[in-house]
């Protein structure tokens, strides 16, 4: 067993993976990389990436790590730590470059671009709650994939766009926007636990659904929320309605996906539109 562990072979799968259990792969900043672990054992390994635990599931009788890559990741090799039987090994996977376009947006509420001192106090307090929801680890053997689109509508904002509000550069878009009329019912993308429900300065009324192993869906700018923290929901269940709360220019749903505390391209987890 020791010899097998020391000779651990890891390769990034470039072949098509089953949509029944794994997301699509995109080895780019903001993407998801599927790493196959050649471990001849039933004992599930613990995998770490950038100080965060990574989802690991069995696929075709092999352990695979599902790694969310941040937009800030440098192009080239990335390091995973694999812990099993009390021993740790290092392995590499590679990511390629991706150019995201720039998007200019005009916000009439100038405080949503340049918050005042009181706003900043609120924002810092909310960040603690949001980070706790995204960092929570719920161990599960499988992930409830593929996801179900929460609403139908026109995609009005793509993931990764470098956003410029009122001429001022801000962080890239961490999810995708789907335009729909206020009051449109929003459905849970998959079964999970409502980790947090709140009304935040930038995100407006928001629901965080914990699907296990660091996989969380984030639904923002809601008009109404129909669930509470700690509640279990099933796939397709109505959890709220579309609105325009928080920093918005019109009614829409901001749909985000967080994996190992990294906001990644949501479309990798859903059927093609």
Is the alpha carbon torsion for 167, 170, 172, 176 positive or negative?
Answer: negative
167: left (phi over 0), alpha (psi -120 to 50) or beta: left
CATH topology of domain 102-269: Glucose Permease (Domain IIA) (2.70.70)
Q: Indicate if the pLDDT at residue 180 is higher than 90.
A: yes
Q: Indicate if the pLDDT at residue 162 is higher than 90.
A: no
Residue 146 has what pLDDT?
A: 94
Q: Output the pTM of the full model.
A: 0.89
Domain locations in the chain as residue ranges:
2-95, 102-269
Residue 99 has what pLDDT?
A: 87
Q: Indicate if the pLDDT at residue 260 is higher than 50.
A: yes
Class of domain 2-95: mainly beta
Is the alpha carbon torsion for 121, 124, 128, 134 positive or negative?
Answer: positive
What would the pLDDT profile of 33-72 be if each residue is shown by its tens digit? 999 987 667 789 999 999 999 999 998 888 999 999 999 9
Cis peptide before 146 (omega within 30 of 0): yes
Residue 40 has what pLDDT?
A: 64
Residue 239 has what pLDDT?
A: 98
The 3-state DSSP composition of the chain as helix, strand, coil percent (nearest 5) reads 10, 40, 45
Phi and psi at 31, nearest 5°, equal -100, -170
Tokens 């810092």 — which residue? 124
């Amino acid at each position: 067993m020791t010899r097998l562990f020391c000779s651990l072979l890891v390769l990034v799968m470039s072949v098509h993976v089953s949509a029944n259990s794994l997301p699509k792969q995109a080895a780019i900043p903001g993407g998801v990389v599927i790493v196959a672990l050649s471990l001849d054992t039933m004992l599930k390994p613990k995998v770490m990436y950038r100080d965060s635990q990574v989802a690991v599931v069995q696929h075709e009788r092999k352990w695979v790590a599902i790694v969310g890559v941040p937009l800030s990741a440098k192009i080239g090799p990335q390091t995973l730590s694999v812990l099993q039987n009390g021993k740790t090994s290092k392995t590499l996977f590679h990511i390629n470059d991706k150019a995201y376009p720039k998007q200019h947006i005009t916000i009439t509420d100038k405080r949503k671009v340049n918050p005042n001192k009181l706003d900043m106090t609120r924002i810092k307090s909310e960040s603690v709650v949001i980070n706790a929801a995204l960092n929570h680890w719920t161990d599960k053997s499988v992930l409830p994939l593929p996801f179900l689109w929460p609403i139908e509508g026109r995609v009005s904002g793509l993931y990764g766009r470098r956003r410029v509000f009122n001429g001022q550069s801000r962080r890239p878009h961490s999810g995708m926007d789907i335009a729909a009329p206020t009051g449109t019912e929003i459905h849970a993308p998959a079964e999970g636990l409502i980790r947090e429900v709140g009304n935040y300065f930038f995100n407006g009324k928001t629901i965080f659904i914990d699907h296990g192993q660091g996989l969380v869906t984030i639904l923002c700018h809601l008009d109404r929320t129909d669930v509470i923290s700690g509640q279990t929901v099933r796939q397709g269940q109505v959890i709220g309605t579309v609105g325009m709360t928080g920093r918005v220019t019109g009614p829409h749903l901001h749909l985000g996906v967080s994996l190992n505390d990294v906001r990644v391209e949501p479309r990798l987890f859903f059927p093609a539109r």
